[in-house]
Amino acid sequence: MIKIIKTGNHRTIRGAFSVEGPTPYVHNHTTKMTVRSAKSGFRFIIGEEEIKVNGANTKFTNGIHATYLTNNKGQDVRLTEHILSALSGMGATAADIYLEGSNQVPVPDRTAQIFCKEIKRVGLKDTTKSLLSVKVMKDIYFTDNLGSFVVMRPSDTTKISALIQFSHLFEDQYIKLELSPENYWNEVMWARPFIRIDCATNDDYLDAIKLLKAFPKKMEDAPAMVRSNGVWITGIKPLEPVRHKVLDIIGDLATLGFPIIADMSFVRPGHEFHRKLIKYLWKLISMKQ
């Protein structure tokens, strides 16, 4: 169903950049993240601990709508999806990501926009290490039997489509795009997440974000799409919810450790479903090695 092929060399950032921002789930706390060039693959480095980004280390999401990675020593890194999405979407396949202050990636605005602007500012370069990619050779159908599924078809380029269904918030949304730095910049990086509750009052909003201690106390300042009395009070851009789902898909697929060349159609995607898919693909890769 899949084939491991060489697709040129790894690409990494030129030099380094740093971003500091709120640490989700920790009140009044910030984390500094520094991204540096690397020869091959993605790594998170926290103090003396190293966590390689690959399917073996994609362990769990803990039910809080975020992706975690862990190493064989039990050290984990949390909220990896947006920085990995930004790097992958902009064309990088290698970087060392250092965290100071916590084991959580900072989320200045809960999109990939700040990261992408830094990547564009410093630029990318090829490394001397060969890049291995996963190319889908025959149709793959994968489901969690809970309503989410993906069909992965052979393709010479990477294409991603997503259908999301949240009938209590908006009509079904669908988008399809070919993954390229230009498309990622224009179509994906700026999309915000949304809160799945119709907040009639500010008290409802506070209830909805009680686990997200880094969120501002006023709905109007929320770095996410929030509803009040059936209206998106923070505004909503065309197909923004499904665009953010694609942002998450790209970041979570990066945890496989191999770029995927396929035409992928996701229905009802989500972090936990992505984790299960990565585990399935990792088993297929292990059989090839």
Q: What are phi and psi of 74, to 5 degrees?
A: 90, 0
Percentage of residues in the chain having pLDDT higher than 70: 84
Examine residue 200 and state whether it is found in any structural domain, yes or no.
yes
- Residue range(s) defining the domain that contains residue 209: 194-236
Number of domains the chain contains = 2
pTM for the model? 0.90
pLDDT at 281 (0 to 100): 96
What's the Cα-to-Cα distance from 270 to each of 10, 242, 253, 288, rounded to whole Å? 28, 11, 12, 27
* Claim to verify: residue 131 and residue 208 sit in the same structural domain: no
Distances from the Cα of 265 to the Cα of 149, 152, 163, 188, angstroms: 8, 6, 8, 16
Whether 247 is in a domain gets the answer no
- 61: pLDDT strictly greater than 70: no
Q: What is the pLDDT of residue 221?
A: 57
**Do 10 and 123 reside in the same domain of the chain?**
yes
The verdict on 127 and 205 lying in the same domain is no
Q: Tokens standing for 167?
A: 């009938």
Average pLDDT over residues 213-242: 70
- Reported as a single tens digit per residue, the pLDDT across 168-216 is 788 999 999 999 999 999 999 999 888 655 555 555 555 555 545 555 5
pLDDT for the residue 207: 58
Identify the CATH number of the domain in which residue 26 sits. Answer: 3.30.230.20
175 in a structural domain: no
Answer whether residue 43 shows pLDDT above 60. Answer: yes
Q: Are residues 6 and 131 in the same domain?
A: yes
pLDDT of residue 211: 46
Asked whether residue 128 falls in the same domain as residue 211, the answer is no
Positions of E strands within the chain: 2-13, 16-22, 30-36, 41-46, 49-52, 68-70, 76-78, 94-100, 124-136, 140-143, 149-153, 159-164, 173-178, 194-198, 225-228, 231-232, 260-261, 263-267
Mean pLDDT of 124-146: 97
Q: Is residue 13 in a domain?
A: yes
- 216 and 122: one domain? no
Is a pLDDT exceeding 60 seen at residue 137? Answer: yes
pLDDT reported for residue 270: 92
CA distance 128 to 130: 7
